[in-house]
Chain A
Amino acid sequence: MLGHSKFVGSAAELQPTPPRVAWARRVIDFLSHDWVPQYDRFVIDWMKTPLGLLVLALLFALFCGWGLHPHGYWVAAALAVVIAVGLVWPWLALRGLRGRLEFTSERGREGEPVGVRLQLENRWPWAAWGVGLKLDLPHEPGVDAAVSHVGGWRRRECRFDFVPPQRGVYPRVSTRLTCGFPFGLWQFSRDLGRTEPLIVWPRTFPVGTLPEAAGASHDEGLVFRNTPGTAGDILGVRPFREGDSLRWIHWAQSARHDRLIVCERQTPALPVIQLILASHASEHTPGPQGSREWAARVAASLATAWLKQGARMELAAGKVRVVGDGGQRQAQRIMDALARFEPGHDLPLAELFEQPLVRRFRGTLQVLITTDAALAAMPEHFAAQRLFAIVLRHRAFGGAAVPRFHACHSTQWLVVDDLSQLLTTFRQTWRGGGHGCG
C-alpha cells in the first residue's frame, strides 16, 4: 500500500528525497567501469567501427565454417565481398578526383563565416558520391564538409561558408579530399593541392577604455589624460595665470569672484603600451577554450581596442615581436602575428622578460598576459615597474589548481577566475587597476 509521507507546510518547503536507485547506479557503474582504458585501443575501440565489426564477423564465420557448418564459408564470402566493395569503391573513386579550394577573403575571425569555393573534377566515367573535404582542423576529427555527388566526366563547383573554430592559418597542413562511400568502412584521402591560406584572427571582446596607469608622458597623442592641459574636456576652473589663453576664461565665474577664472582642460597624451603574451605550452591549457587561446584573445582585444583609442602598441609574444606603432596597419600587424603565433614560437616567461624589446621598453605601460602557473615558476624577486598583469587562472580553463604565486608590490593585477565572468571582469575592474597580488 501507499506509504504516508511526512508532508508538512507548503510544497516549496519540501526537500527532494534521496534517489532510490543510487545503489543500482553504483552497481551499474561498477559493472560498466573501464578498468583498463589503456588497452581499449587494442581490444574495444576497433570493434566499435563498422570495419572492425565486419572483420570480426568474417573471422567468426570462417571459424564456424571450419568447425561447425560449411554455411560459414558462404557467409564469410559475403562479408568479404561487402568489405572489399566498401574498401575498393572509395579508393577507386578517389583516384579519379582532383580539385581546388579557394577562400573568398584573405582574413577572417574565429567563429565568423568565411566563403569557400570548391571546384571538383571527376575523370572517371562513373560518378563519385559522398566526397568529403578535410581541412586538417585541430580538434575536428571528422570531415569538415562534403559534396554528395560528382558526375562522371564532370566538373562541379560548390560554394559554402566555413566557420573557423580557432585562430590560425588555414589550411594548417594541407587540404584533403576524402571518400568512404558507400559503406564508410574506411576514409581514403588524397591531397587537394596548394591552397591560398586564410588567416584567422583571434576573437575579440570589448575591454573598455585605456587604464589610468597607461600614463601620459608624451603630449602629442590623441589620448586625453586628467591632468591639467590645454585640450580635451574641461576638468574644472582655477584663477587666471599669466599666459593663459583668454579663450578659456570662464566669464560667469570671473564675474562672481571678481577676478579672472579660467577653465582647466585635459592634457593630450600618447600612451605607448607593450603587450607581453606569455604563452609557453607548459604554462597554459590547450584547446580552443584553453588558457593559451584565451590569452591570445585577450591580447587581440586589448590591442584592437587601444589602438582605436590612439595608443601606440607593441607586442612581444615569445619570439614574435611587433614594434610600437599606431593605427589600423599596426592593428593588422598585431592580429596577423597573433594568428600566426604557433607553439614553436613561444618562450618561458622568465626568458621573455630577458628579451631586448621587453627589457629596454621605455613606454608608459607593459601589460603581461599570463597564467598563474607561469607566475608560480617566476623567482620571488621578480618585479617590474609599470607592469600590469592579467592572470588567467589555470583551473578556470580546465587545468589543475596552482598554488599561490609569489607576491610582489610594484605590479597591478587582474585575475580571471571564471571564464564565464571574463567580460564582466574586464568591464568592472579594468580602470580600477586590479586587485594586488593573487
Chain B
Amino acid sequence: MVVASHHPRVDLGPWTLLLLAVATTSVELALVSPAAPGWEVGEVMLVAVVLAGWWWRTRAHQPDRPRPSVRESVLLLGLFVLPLATGVARLGTGAGGLLLESILMAGLRNLAWGVFVTRWEERLRLAAAMSLMLMLTATFVSEHRWAPMLAGLYVLVGCGWLTRGYWRELPTVDERPRRFSGAISLVGVLIAAVLGLALASDQPQTRSLWGFLPSSGGTRWFDAESRGGVNDGEDEARGSEQAESVGFSENDQFIDTDEPSLYDVIGELFGKPMKMREVERAIALPQEQTRRRDVIPAENLRPGREFEMRREPAASRRPESRGADAVLYVQGPAPAHLRLATYDWFDGVAWQEEPNTGLSLSIKNDPDDPWMSFIYPLADPPDFLMLPVRHTIKIAKLKGANLPTPPLVAGFRVGRVTDPAFFAWAQPGILRLADRTIPKATIFEVETHSVDTERLADHPTLGTQIIALKNYLALPGAAELQTLLDQTADEWTAGQPRGWPQIYAILQRLRSDFTHEPTPIPRGTAAAGQGAQGDPLVAFLTTSRRGQSYHFASAAVLLWRSLGYPARLATGFYVNPERWNEETGHYHLLRDDLHFWPELLVDGKHWLALEATPGFGLMPARWPWHLRCWHLLRAVWHGCMAHPGLIAGLALSGLVLLRLRLHLLDLAATAWWRWWGASDPRTRVAATLAVLERRGRWSGLARPEGYSLWRWYGQTLPDRCTSGPESDPVDRAFADLVNWALYAPATRPLHEPAAVAEQVCGSVLARWSLGRLRRAARSQHRNRAAATSSPSPIPERRL
C-alpha cells in the first residue's frame, strides 16, 4: 500500500461511451431497414430520451452501490423488453415483424446503454463487455460497407479502453509519461488497419485472402429470411441501398447463358401457343367474309412477331434454383407498368406486335449531361399529368433491345451515354438501344409523368372522336366476335355519357365480374370453357369469365375500340408492391410479373396505361403540394361525414380535455414527482416547491413578489384558504423544510429522517391540491368583488 499515488483514478466513462457508440452504430446499420426506418428510429429516440432523463435525474448520485437499485433494475428490464413490444406492435400494425436475433440485438443494445447510465460500481465494465458482444453480433449480421471500418474503429477504441483500465488499477508513484498514448494508439491503429484492409479492401491481394477461408460451398440449406448467406448465397443480398449495388461480380451471371427474351418469358408463364390441327375440309364462306379475308395487311403491319391468345399451360417450370431469379430490379414508386412491347392488330386469335417506328429521338440533350429530356410529345402537358416520378431499373436477366419503359416518359439516362444516337423508339412510347441488345446489368433511369385519374375523367377531349391510326381502332374480322363486342360494349356502357364514364365502366365491369387466373387453365376443365379450341375472347366474355391478364387487356382494348376509343395492348412487367425486398431496398421483378394491360390514346399522342385485371393497380399520382393539401382536406371531410358520431365524441372529448387541461397537467406533474423520487432530500423539497408554485400560478394564487417562501406557504396561503384548517403542522413543517433546503449550508444535514421529509412533502401536495387553490382563488375574487360593490361602512368625512 502506498501513501499517495501521483495520479487520480482514471475515468473509464468516456471510453466506455465511445465503445458503446461504435457498437451501437454498427448494430443500427444491421437493424435499420432502409425502406422503413421509422420504427427503429422511433425506438432509438424513445430509448435515448428515457436514458437522458434518467441520467439527468441521477447525475449527482455516487456510483457506490454494488448492484443496481430496484428502480434501475426495473428500468433495465423495461429497456430489454422494449424491442419485443415494438416487434409485437409492428406485427399488429402490419409493418412486418422482426427476426428474433434483431429483437435480441436491440434488447442487448438498450440494456448496455441502460447499464451505462445507471449508477453502480461495476456498470462500466459490464457495459463494455456488452458492447463487445454487440459488436461481434453486428459484425456477423451486418452487410453494410461500413461494418468492417466500424469493427476496426472498435478495436482501436477497445485497445484504448483496456489500457485505461490497466492504468486505472495502477497506484503509480511517479509522473506518467505522455508518450505511451502514442505507442498504444500505434498498436491499435496497426491492428485496426490490418483488419480493415483485410475486410474492406478491393485489392486482388486482399481479395485472394478470401480464398483461404472455408465456405459452405452450398449446403442445400436456404432460408428466405436470411440476411446475407455465406458469401456465395443469393446475389440479391449483395446490394443494400441502391440498384447499382446489386452485385453480379462474383456469380455466374457473366457467363454467357441463354438469357430469356420477352417471348421466352411469355411462353414460360402462359404456355406455348397451341398448334391448330390442319382442317382441309372446304366450306363455302359468305361473301362479305371472303372480301374481308382478301384484305392483306401491309408489310409494315406484319412485323413477324405476334402474341397468340390460344395457349396451353407450360408442361414444366424451371427447376428450383438458388440463383438470382429476378429479371429486373426496380427502385421507384409502385405499382407501375414497364412496357416492353405493344400490339395493335388483332385477328381474333393473335395480336400483332406494332412495327418499329424507326424514329429517332427528339430530345433536349446536353453533351456533358447524360440525362436526356424529351421535347416531344410532352412539351405541353395536359392538366391530368402530375409531377414526374423517377424509376431506376436494372436489367438482370432479359435479352433484347427494348428498354422497359414506363408510360409517359419525360426523360431518361443510361449510364453515362450522352449520344442520343444510341437510342431510338422501338414502338410508340418504348425506348430501345439502336442496333444492339442491352448489355447485362445495364442501369436505366427514367422519369415519367404520373396521371391523376380524377382529372383525366374531366379531360374535355377524351370523349371526342379523334382521327387515329386505324390499327388502334381495328376490330377482328369475325362477325361473331365483332357482334359480341358491340353488344357487350353497349350493354356495359348503357346510360353512360361518352368519355371517361364509358371507359371506366368497361374497366370496372371487367375488374368486378371476371376472375383472374395467373396461369392458363388446363384444357378439359370446366373453367376452361371452350376457349381452348374456339375463340378465346368469346369464351372469356361469355362462358368462362375467367382468364389471364391478356384476356382482360384484350377485352378492354377491343371493347373500347368498338365504342370508338383508340387503344392498344401492351405487355411488359408489372412492378408489384409485393415484390419489395426490404433487405436490398428494391423491387425484385420475377418472370411471374409479366403482365398485359390496355392502353388508351389521349389527345392522339399520350398513351395512358390503364388496368383491367382485378388485383392490379395504377401508379399513384404524385401531386404538387397544393393538391396534396386539397386531397388531405377532402379526405378528412369525407371521413367526418362518414363517421359523425365518432367525430362528435372526439370533439366532446377534446372540449372536456381542454376544460380539464390544467388538472390533467397537474396530475401528470404530480405523478412524475411521485415516481421520480430523488434520494437527496434537498432536491426532493425543491421539486415539491416547484409543483406548488406551478399550482399557484395556474390557480391565480401565485406567490407575490416580496413574499418569502416561509411567509407564503407557512402563513399567508393557509390564511387565505379559509375552507381548510387555520393552522396545520404540515404547513409549518414544510415551511421549515423549504427554509432548510434553500438557505441552509450544504454541510448541514436534515434534522428529521429523509422518510419524514418525504411524507411532509407528500402531505403538502395532497393538502394544497390544485382544486383547493382554485376554489380559494375564486372565493377571494368573489369577496373582493362584493367588497367593491357594497357601500363603504365608513361614513364620508365632511369637509
Contact = CB atoms under 8 A, between A and B. Distances in A.
A132 B5 CA distance: 13
Nearest to A14: B756
B191 A3 contact: no
Nearest to A181: B166
Nearest to A78: B195
A130 B140 contact: no
A74 B159 contact: no
Contact of A137 (B1, B67, B762): B1
Contacts of B214: 66, 70
Given A2-B765, A24-B73, A180 B752 contact: no
A7 B757 CA distance: 12
Interface of A: 1-5, 7-12, 14-17, 21, 24-25, 28, 32, 48, 50, 53, 57, 60-61, 64-66, 68-75, 77-78, 81-82, 85-86, 113, 127, 129-130, 132, 137, 140, 142-149, 158, 160-165, 180-185
Nearest to A151: B177
28 contacts: A2-B670, A2-B769, A10-B729, A12-B751, A14-B759, A24-B73, A28-B73, A61-B136, A69-B228, A70-B214, A81-B191, A82-B159, A129-B180, A132-B170, A144-B171, A145-B171, A146-B171, A149-B177, A149-B180, A158-B173, A160-B2, A162-B2, A180-B166, A181-B163, A182-B159, A182-B180, A183-B159, A184-B169
Nearest to A145: B2
Contacts of B730: 7, 11
A229 B634 CA distance: 123
B733 A11 contact: yes
B430 interface: no
Nearest to A6: B763
Secondary structure dominating the interface of B = helix
Given A145-B173, A148-B177, A82 B210 contact: no
B3 interface: yes
A8 B759 CA distance: 12
A78 B758 CA distance: 54
Contacts of A57: 132-133, 136
Given A144-B1, A145-B2, A2 B210 contact: no
Contacts of A147: 172-174
A5 B213 CA distance: 71
Contact of B172 (A66, A86, A146): A146
A86 B162 CA distance: 10
Contact of A143 (B158, B169, B199): B169
A5 B194 contact: no
A12 B166 CA distance: 50
A5 B763 contact: yes
Contacts of B349: none
A10 B732 CA distance: 9
Interface string B731-754: 011001100000000000001110
Nearest to B215: A70
Contacts of A7: 729-730, 759-760, 763
Contacts of B667: 1
Given A7-B730, A185-B162, A74 B195 contact: yes
Across chains A and B, which 9 residue pairs bring their CB atoms closest together, nearest first? A16-B755, A184-B166, A11-B733, A183-B162, A161-B3, A146-B170, A160-B173, A2-B766, A70-B213
B70 interface: yes
A5 B759 contact: yes
Interface string B525-567: 0000000000000000000000000000000000000000000
B250 to A, nearest CB: 13
Contact of A78 (B191, B215, B732): B191
B4 A69 contact: no
Contacts of B769: 1-2
B762 A5 contact: yes
Contacts of A72: 140
Given A28-B70, A70-B213, 11 more contacts: A1-B769, A12-B756, A64-B136, A72-B140, A85-B191, A129-B177, A147-B173, A182-B166, A182-B187, A183-B163, A183-B166
